[in-house]
Each structure stands twice: as C-alpha cells, then as structure tokens.
Structure 1
Amino acid sequence: MYVTSLVKKSQTVNRHKSLYRPHPSDVLKRRFKKNLDNTTIPDWVLHFLNERQDVNVKLAEQLAAFTNLSPKAWLYYQKKYDDSLTN
C-alpha cells in the first residue's frame, strides 16, 4: 500500500493564539540538537541561535542550504513568531 492511497487531502493545522510560539532558532536547535558544536558553527548561525538575528530573506536562504528546509518555511516561522509577539 502506498502513502498516497492513504492520504486524500492535506490538512491545515491551526495553533491556538494562546500557545507559545518559539523563535525560529528553536526550530534549528531542535532539529540539530545532537549535531550542534560551537567550535564548528559559523558566526551567522551563532547569532541566529542566540536570537540576536531574526530571519530575513538572506538568512532564510542560508538556513535553507544549511538545513534542507525551504526559505519560505523559515520566513513563515519568523512571521508567526512576530505575530505572536504583537497579539
């Protein structure tokens, strides 16, 4: 049996506004928890991990190359994080 035969339509999952929305750097920390070694991490990644830099287009492209997640995903994480701070 193929997965496509089980999945008829993608579903949208909505997070309740009151739930904590992590900084996008937390996504990177969780994905690479075991592989993060401060001696080999580039400065631009350290700035991001320490939440000293938000995701912009350039950083999203760098993160995409580094993580294999699309730039659009990184920009989405940042937008949702920013929205959570204003609500």
Structure 2
Amino acid sequence: MVSLGEDDAEEQDWQERALCAQTDPEAFFPEKGGSTREAKRICSGCEVRAECLDYALAHDERFGIWGGLSERERRRLRRAVS
C-alpha cells in the first residue's frame, strides 16, 4: 500500500472538490485558438480556484486552464511577480 505524504493528500483533496473534476476535461484544454470561455466560467464558481492556480504555478503547467487563467495569463502573472 502506498502512503500519501501530507502535501499529496492536500493536493488530492482540493482536486476532488474542483468543479472541473465533474465536467468535460476537454473544455479546460481547448485546441489552439479555441475558446476558453466555458472553462473560465466554470472556474469562476469553483471553491478551490486559488489552490488550482497555486498548483499550476508551482508545477509550471504549460497547457490548459488552471485556476481560471490560460497559460498566457499565467505566464504574464509570473513575469509581474518576478
């Protein structure tokens, strides 16, 4: 049996509560030039949006909508903070 560390358990907890876990994952990974509107709408009502964005920034996620932001928006945020 594999034991989850505390960070892993916390990570799994917020992911299970995320609204995206209950919807079509394709909305969060649109084709290049595709609309991000639906994914961002779902994110706007999600209780773990901040945790999701923190995860994406900490793990340098390069694709998809995370925490309500596209990869380009996350890159811009990283530059503004640096």
TM over 0.5: no
TM-score of the superposed pair, with normalisation by structure 2: 0.29
TM-score of the superposed pair, with normalisation by structure 1: 0.28
